[in-house]
Amino acid sequence: MIGVLGLPLVAYLLFVGSSLFHPMSNPANKVHRVDTLPHSIAHEVAAADLSPLLAVADLTPPMAQALTPSGTMPSWLPKPLPVDIIIYANSIDQINEAEGIYIASIDFTQTWQDSHLAFDPHVYGTFQRELSFQQADELLTKIWTPKIEIGNLRGRPISREPCLLIDLHGNVTYTQRIDAVFTMKYNLKPFPFDTQPLLIQLVSNHYDTSQIEFTQSQLDLYKSGIRSTCAISGWTVHDLSYSQGNFTGLDGKFYPSFDIHINITRKAASYIFSFLPLFLIVIVPTILTLYAEVDIGARLSTWSGAILALIALSFTMQLRYPALPTNSILNQLVAVIFAYEFFMICITMTVFNPQITVKLHNPYLVPAMKGFMRWQIPVIFIAIVAFIISITIVNS
């Protein structure tokens, strides 16, 4: 009776024992690193050329040397090697046109395939290895990478959080969350009606266009984008745009580059009160000259005061917006207003000067000219201002 009951018991114990030592059935094996595997398993990994995945503490010296990337591209990789790019903008914290910088947080992901990093999931107990922070940085020094850099960073990143994923087929996904200061050449000619493409410039300074190429699949485009909470005061955040290109290195070779733009538009309405004094300088003297019945002395003193106020306002705006070019809308408007004020002074001293109009000996000419100027001068001035603004925006 005991023997009959003992046979199933022995079979059950053998089944449980085999499952405990099988690498796929033991959950603890799924989180083992190579340096924590038994010594015999580590040598099996080295013999099978599966070792480049993690730390090499238990690997033989020749295999450890094989993990160190050389200065040239490995022969087993296809050329050009496609490197998929994903950019996700998390936030834009500051825009400084005067210094030509902006501060932002982005997720930068690059994906490529290296067949020498493929592994047997039965050995590692997982289908994908994941490393982050210091572990990811340590492994990145031991395997080959395309060494893609952000070319318009100013200095070192404020913070950087790396993450590395390697699946059983050798597909490498290298993601970095980067908070940094980016350099940017702003086009302020149409200010304050400008749209700025904030630049993220990816470059390869180590491998030319015959060795690697930047690519974006439809899935990469879907994963790229801008976080819904990404916003900055005074601007409207739109979308991302992409453009590929290349540049010539000192060795005469062409190296790939990839430009990503975060498109933002300035909220021009928020600058209305800043430019209100500029319009008051024109409106008040114009009303006194064309429509009010005042003597010539009051009119001339008003225009002279307007000229002095425009000089002071122009100086103030140059201090407030030092990055504005000379051909910006604002500077062109200031020049047009200066010309308008001098023109109105000439009109005041001639057509609207009673001492001169008496000498014309024509009682109908001067009233006709005044009636024409009262409506045509403001219309022509507004048309010139609108033309300058529209042409500047279109040409920018």
Alpha-carbon distances, residue 234 vs 22, 24, 164, 253 (angstroms): 61, 56, 37, 43
Q: Is the dihedral of CA 186, 187, 191, 195 positive or negative?
A: negative
User: Among 70-74, 84-88, 112-116, 225-229, where is mean pLDDT lowest?
Assistant: 70-74
Q: What is the per-residue pLDDT across 82-130, written as a single tens digit (0 to 9) for each?
A: 999 999 999 999 999 999 999 999 999 999 999 999 999 988 888 999 9
For all residues of the chain together, what is the average pLDDT? 83
Determine the Cα angle at 387 with ends 381 and 392, to 5°: 135
- pLDDT band at 71, cuts 50/70/90? low
Q: Long-range contacts made by residues 117-121, C-beta under 8 angstroms, separation at least 24? A: 117/52, 117/53, 117/143, 117/166, 117/170, 117/172, 118/50, 118/168, 118/169, 118/170, 119/45, 119/50, 119/53, 119/166, 119/168, 119/170, 120/48, 120/50, 120/168, 121/24, 121/168
Q: Is 39 or 359 the better-scoring residue by pLDDT?
A: 359
In sequence order, what DSSP letters do the residues of 309-320 get, joined into one string? HHHHHHHHHHHH
Give yes or no for residue 143 having a pLDDT over 60.
yes
Q: Which of 234, 240, 255, 158 shows the shortest CA–CA distance to 199?
A: 240
Return d(Cα 74, Cα 78) in angstroms, integer.
Answer: 9
User: Which CATH number is 81-107+133-163+170-266's, of 2.60.120.260, 2.70.170.10, 2.60.40.10, 3.40.630.10?
Assistant: 2.70.170.10
User: Among 52-56, 75-79, 196-200, 254-258, where is mean pLDDT lowest?
Assistant: 52-56
- Domain boundaries of the chain, sorted by first residue: 81-107+133-163+170-266, 270-395
Q: What is the per-residue pLDDT across 164-203, written as a single tens digit (0 to 9) for each?
A: 999 999 999 999 999 999 999 999 999 999 999 999 999 9
Percent of the chain with pLDDT over 70: 81
Hey, what CATH topology would domain 270-395 get? Methane Monooxygenase Hydroxylase; Chain G, domain 1 (1.20.58)
Give yes or no for residue 62 having a pLDDT over 90.
no
Domains 81-107+133-163+170-266 and 270-395 share a fold: no
Give the best-scoring range by mean pLDDT among 1-5, 92-96, 345-349.
Answer: 92-96
Beta-strand relationship, 148-150 and 159-167 = unpaired
